[in-house]
Structure 1
Amino acid sequence: MDKTLAVEQNKETEERSRLGCRHFVVLMLFLGMANAYVMRTNMSVAIVAMVEHPKLPSHGDLPAGELSECEQIWHANNSARKSLIAAVTEDSSSPAPLQTPHLEGRFPWDSKEQGFVLSAFFYGYVLTQIPFGLMAKRWGSLRFLGYGMLLNSVVGLLVPLAAKLGGRNWLIIARFVQGLGEGPIVPCTHALLAKWIPPGERSRMGAAVYAGAQFGTVISLPLSGILCASQFGWPSVFYVFGAVSTVWCLFFLWFVREDPEHDDRLSTYERNLIKRTLGDVSKEKDPSLIPWKSIATSLPFWAILLAHMGHNYGYEMLMTELPSFMRQVLHVDITQNGILSSLPYVAMWIFSIVASCVADWLIISGRLTLTSTRKVFNCIGQFGPAVAMLGAAYAGCNPAVTVALLTLGVGLNGGIYSGFKVNHLDLSPSLAGVLMSITNCSANMAGLLAPLVAGYVTHNRPTQAAWRTVFFTTCSVYLVCGLFYVLTSSGKRQKWDTSEDKGEDKDQDVDASPNKTDAPAAV
């Protein structure tokens, strides 16, 4: 009998260390999040190549005293370069510089019009957040996520045609429809995580999935710059990424299942682990059972809501406007622009993974409560970028210093994935998708203001002083929302959670220790 017990224990240990179906779901959600952010951010770089350069606000048209030190230095250096080129071409038989007509923009849009193009996506995106969150509660999340992203991908392939045939208005409509299609990505992803991931793995798995946002941004920004500078020009950005995203949609719809109950590929150990810690996740799909009044009066929920709104405003400001800042103020060419603009998201990607492992270790080892862990990492994730933006506002005209500060700030922003970003799952596992749809909708309404504010402030005066105002505003938003989260957030499961009680007292910090959940070691 002892021999049989030893064999069973060895088998369970082997299964613990093996990657399971939930890890495959996490991988596919990671790639889906990456595709979503690629489709969201590629316009930020492409628009730099789409717009007629002479139509960008001219420094010569600025009022006296508005020309900042960066513009003065750049114009002085540019005049010296022109004089040198003229001398060389006059005194030698050197060929004229190569022309790149595919980089010459054809659309005469000023900064305000560009702001409308960049924000159009988010208007569509916010409209579908709550409806899809509620429909996913009743009918499941898988198909809403897959078919929504398929719509986003197919319309992405049509963006160049829309811009060439219909100009700004048709382009705005196309981006709006793309936003509609991408609306389900976050609430449906959160709902799937709530069904597949045990409490002891939430920080790691949640951060791994949402790290796809940084991975997609890191891929999108430099590759978009390279594609824009290629002989195929800016339309190739939308053709390449649209095709890749379409392929992912087909794989996702074919291979991923809605929940563990409908996946016969799970091992016995993995199925028991999920059922023991989460219960029957296929139950409770009636949206009429959602305790709306309790949610609306819950201070921990409002803490997540405000933190999410502050994060999205700052994140979208940098994600959509950083390439324009690089070009207008620091005068970085489009290929370098994409590479430099992506560096902050490389740092965020790396830090979010490291922070999530540390967060789960602190929780499982009992060194910090779930509530304390969420607050600590959220402080890092929102106060860090605020301080870095303050420094970038006074960084002068050195692109290296500015990029270093923004890279540090956005990198620290990765702490939010072990802070408010997974806090919905703590408050109510059964309503995580619905809660995320509400906070993500509100957050993206705040986020869509970012390019409009930047466009308004820098309209006809893209100076360092104007961009300093943009950075100050974003810094203030981060500080206020981060402070509110510290004062009012919680990691306790709330009394209004509608899931079955799995041995955890409501309004108590969840015990995520290995003895409680039998959670496997980090992978």
Structure 2
Amino acid sequence: MYVKEMEFDWDEKTQGLVLSSFFWGYVITQMPGGMLADMYGGKATLGLGMLFSSIGTIITPFVARSYGPEELIILRLIIGLAQGPLYPAMSRLLASWVPIEERGRLGSLVFAGAQVGNVASMQLGGFLMRYTNSWTSVFYAFGIFGILWLMFWFVLIYNHPNRHPFISSSEKQYLNRAINTVDPEDGKLSIPWKSIATSAPVWGLIIVQIGHDWGLFTIITDLPKYMKSVLKFSVVENGLLSGLPYIVMWLVAMGSGFIVDSMLSSKYFTVTCIRKTFVTIASVGPALGIVAASYSGCDKVLAVASFTIGMGLMGTFVPSLKVNALDLSPNFAGTLMAIVGTIGCLSGVIAPYIVGIMVPNSSMEEWRDVFWLSAAILIATNLLFLQYGSGNVQPWNEKPNRQYKSSDINNENNTASILKPL
């Protein structure tokens, strides 16, 4: 077992600043990263972000040991700045390459992969520290792996099907007909900020993202505290059981991705209907689960089962909420993902603070109020998405002088939506 005397004598405030500084940078660059991805392509935007974050990871031990917490905070901020554009850039690439009938499973594979990475990195990090007897090996290994991964990224990835030298002409024609996005290297589209800002479906997406992030960040931050203070789990039990809901969430995300694509291929359901249905499951499921857990008393099995089922159902947000930006505007998917992600991240700042105020004594009654609040936010924001959300490509997606062939994408104009979009 890895045991070593503490190397850095930093107080709790300093440790908190070191850990949180990454997120300061992460929030700042989502918007410019999304804009760059839409204007110049996701390949370079994501690749350069990974390059700088990998280099920053490799030099982290040197900075921590040779300088001090202030310099480490600056480095962590820079790493956050480098990683902010990653999700918007990936959204732009998916919008250029993935037909709508395949977005569910491929979107789940890409976006839910982060959860697999979190679990795998924690396990690998523990293994490295145990067998090298050094925490620095984790940073060196992950940083070097990032550099090696980039070699494959820059060789294999292309911004648009038209740029790929190896796919067949028939495949290019199919992708251009089915997706119909502008190649960033052919010409730059001006981002229609006014149209985006006044778009009801965009605001519906933003609002439901806020609700989702509130519920998710509340559980991520506070579930271990609840298990320790109310359910009286040991440290080992807490560590094992706190991760169980996320494993189930990943499994649900992958499975629901295939279900979504099957429903689209059947032609019986519109994109709007499917997105709203699965977003509703991802909102109502966790709301019911966390409230049920708060009434489980000291029944540990019932509490864990309620959390696991509820948070597992949140996995349906991946093939619905996560890919909705691609539905609304394939040409500006990076910018939309950045807008939604930036505003949604505010929940991650506010929610833990509110929870801290509401549970001064960590009693079961106080935690019940927390979970009721989260459930109310999840359901209220979902209702607004049902009213204003959409799965249709928006008119401002295209140049004014270019007619968009919506029938090539989803044929929604010829099919009555079960849940009427705006």
Residue 487, structure 1, aligned to residue 387, structure 2:
yes
Amino acid of the structure 2 residue aligned with 1:316: F
* 8 Å CA contact 1:345, 1:411 repeated in 2: yes
* 8 Å CA contact 1:348, 1:413 repeated in 2: yes
Whole-angstrom distance in 2 between the partners of 1:316 and 1:105: 30
Deviation (angstroms), 1:118: 4.1
Give 2:174's aligned residue: 273
* 8 Å CA contact 1:317, 1:450 repeated in 2: yes
Match of 2:101 among 170, 175, 200: 200
Give 1:432's aligned residue: 333
Q: How does 1:150-165 map to 2 (within 5 A)?
A: 150-163=51-64
Amino acid of the structure 2 residue aligned with 1:120: S
Match of 1:340 among 241, 257, 281: 241
* 8 Å CA contact 1:388, 1:409 repeated in 2: yes
* 8 Å CA contact 2:179, 2:409 repeated in 1: no
Give 1:377's aligned residue: 278
Match of 2:43 among 132, 136, 142: 142
Deviation (angstroms), 1:136: 2.0
Q: How does 1:16-35 map to 2 (within 5 A)?
A: none
Q: Percent identity?
A: 35
Deviation (angstroms), 1:362: 1.6
Residue 397 of structure 2: SS of its match in structure 1? coil
RMSD: 3.4
Residue 90 of structure 2: SS of its match in structure 1? helix
Residue 449 of structure 1: SS of its match in structure 2? helix
Residue 317, structure 1, aligned to residue 218, structure 2:
yes
Whole-angstrom distance in 2 between the partners of 1:174 and 1:380: 40
Give 1:254's aligned residue: 155
Whole-angstrom distance in 1 between the partners of 2:135 and 2:227: 18
Residue 282, structure 1, aligned to residue 183, structure 2:
yes
Match of 2:318 among 407, 417, 424: 417
Whole-angstrom distance in 1 between the partners of 2:373 and 2:329: 33
| Pair 463,299 (structure 1): closer, same or farther in 2 beyond 3 Å | same
- Structure 1 stretch 145-154 or stretch 463-472: which is displaced more? 463-472
- Structure 1 stretch 442-451 or stretch 407-416: which is displaced more? 442-451
Amino acid of the structure 2 residue aligned with 1:497: N
Whole-angstrom distance in 1 between the partners of 2:297 and 2:65: 38
Count of residues paired in the alignment: 411
* 8 Å CA contact 2:38, 2:333 repeated in 1: no
Give 1:5's aligned residue: none
Give 2:113's aligned residue: 212
Q: How does 1:173-252 map to 2 (within 5 A)?
A: 173-224=74-125, 232=133, 234-252=135-153
TM-score where L is the length of structure 1:
0.69
| Pair 239,319 (structure 1): closer, same or farther in 2 beyond 3 Å | farther
Deviation (angstroms), 1:104: 6.2
* 8 Å CA contact 2:289, 2:306 repeated in 1: yes
Deviation (angstroms), 1:304: 0.6
Deviation (angstroms), 1:476: 3.2
Whole-angstrom distance in 1 between the partners of 2:36 and 2:6: 45
Residue 307, structure 1, aligned to residue 204, structure 2:
no
Give 1:126's aligned residue: 27
Q: Deviations over 1:324-382 (max 9, x none)?
A: 55566645336x55443332222111111211211122222122221111110000112
TM-score where L is the length of structure 2:
0.84
Deviation (angstroms), 1:397: 4.9
Deviation (angstroms), 1:229: 6.5
* 8 Å CA contact 1:137, 1:285 repeated in 2: no
Q: Extract unaligned runs of 5+ from structure 2.
A: 416-422
| Pair 280,485 (structure 1): closer, same or farther in 2 beyond 3 Å | closer
Give 1:387's aligned residue: 288
Q: Deviations over 1:236-269 (max 9, x none)?
A: 5444433333322332123212221111111233
Q: How does 1:331-370 map to 2 (within 5 A)?
A: 331-333=233-235, 337-370=238-271
Q: Deviations over 1:163-189 (max 9, x none)?
A: 556665444433322211111111100
| Pair 160,483 (structure 1): closer, same or farther in 2 beyond 3 Å | farther
Give 1:448's aligned residue: 349
Give 1:521's aligned residue: none
* 8 Å CA contact 1:375, 1:419 repeated in 2: yes
Deviation (angstroms), 1:301: 0.7
Deviation (angstroms), 1:439: 0.9
| Pair 398,152 (structure 1): closer, same or farther in 2 beyond 3 Å | farther
* 8 Å CA contact 1:492, 1:507 repeated in 2: no
Deviation (angstroms), 1:290: 2.2
Whole-angstrom distance in 1 between the partners of 2:224 and 2:177: 48
Query: Which has the greater radius of gyration?
Result: 1
Q: How does 1:288-303 map to 2 (within 5 A)?
A: 289-303=190-204
* 8 Å CA contact 2:95, 2:181 repeated in 1: no
